[in-house]
């Protein structure tokens, strides 16, 4: 598969089936798209999703989760959950993130997501990452969530799953506004940390200057 130039990548407005179709033509049958959510926040886990879609059951309108409203993400989340051949979720909490760093924790979450697929994949399409110690053919795609349909679907599953986990912290830690900022480093979040203190769910390595 030829590598696309950055100029070509920027012309894509929506993800396509190009990568999957090339692999299907080469004889691969179970192609999993993989992406994560929660790499940058100050609190909570990083969540990865692996999604094997049915090529004959196309869902129109899927995009990178960052380009969709919350309402649209929830809609497509349900569509994907109902139509995908297999979905795996991997969750790595803040304690492990602090222990092994966020990049390694992201890779671990992605591996867990693959392991939790009910259907064993024979090829992995991954957003911008390469997984080691995994005996499955793979391809890292820069901006894969904007270019590749399966990765875009995985980005939606990972994002909605993580947001639902973080929203629950509102009841456990009232006053921090987790349902609004989702753990990201917003002005409100930093102000609440300074006012109320660092919580057990905060990533301590992300808050060294507080």
Domain assignment of residue 6, yes or no: no
Tallying the residues shown for the chain, one arrives at 210
Element (H, E) at 89: strand 86-92
Domain assignment of residue 1, yes or no: no
Domain assignment of residue 99, yes or no: yes
Contact by Cβ (8 Å): 154, 34: yes
Domain assignment of residue 2, yes or no: no
Domain assignment of residue 155, yes or no: yes
Number of structural domains the chain divides into: 1
Domain assignment of residue 82, yes or no: yes
Domain assignment of residue 5, yes or no: no
pLDDT of residue 7: 38
Query: How far apart, in Å, are the Cα atoms of 183 and each of 39, 49, 59, 123, 131?
Result: 11, 19, 30, 32, 26
pLDDT of residue 208: 87
pLDDT of residue 210: 76
Give me the CATH number covering residue 44: 3.30.420.10
pLDDT of residue 187: 95
For the entire predicted model, the pTM comes to 0.92
pLDDT along the chain (210 residues), means of 10: 39 83 98 98 98 93 94 98 98 98 98 98 98 96 97 98 96 94 96 96 92
Domain assignment of residue 63, yes or no: yes
Q: How many CB atoms lie within 10 A of CB 134?
A: 14
- Strand 46-52 and strand 86-92: the pairing is antiparallel
Domain that holds residue 121: 14-206
């Amino acid at each position: 598969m030829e590598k696309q130039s950055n100029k070509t990548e920027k012309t894509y407005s929506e993800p396509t089936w190009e990568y999957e179709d090339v692999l299907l033509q080469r004889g691969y049958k179970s192609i999993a798209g993989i992406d994560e959510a929660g790499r940058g926040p100050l609190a909570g886990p990083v969540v990865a999703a692996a999604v094997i879609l049915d090529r004959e059951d196309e869902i129109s309108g899927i995009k990178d989760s960052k380009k969709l409203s919350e309402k649209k993400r929830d809609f497509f989340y349900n569509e994907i959950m109902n139509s995908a051949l297999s979905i795996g979720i991997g969750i790595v909490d803040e304690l492990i993130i602090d222990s092994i760093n966020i990049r390694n924790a992201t890779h671990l979450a992605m591996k867990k997501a693959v392991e939790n697929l009910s259907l064993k994949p024979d090829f992995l399409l991954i957003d911008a990452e390469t997984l080691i110690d995994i005996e499955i053919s793979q391809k890292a795609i820069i901006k894969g969530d904007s270019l590749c349909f399966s990765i875009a679907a995985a980005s939606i599953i990972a994002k909605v799953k993580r947001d639902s986990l973080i929203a629950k912290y509102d009841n456990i830690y009232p006053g921090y506004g987790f349902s609004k900022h989702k753990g990201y480093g917003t002005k409100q979040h930093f102000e609440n940390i300074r006012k109320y203190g660092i919580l057990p769910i905060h990533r301590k390595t992300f808050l060294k200057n507080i």
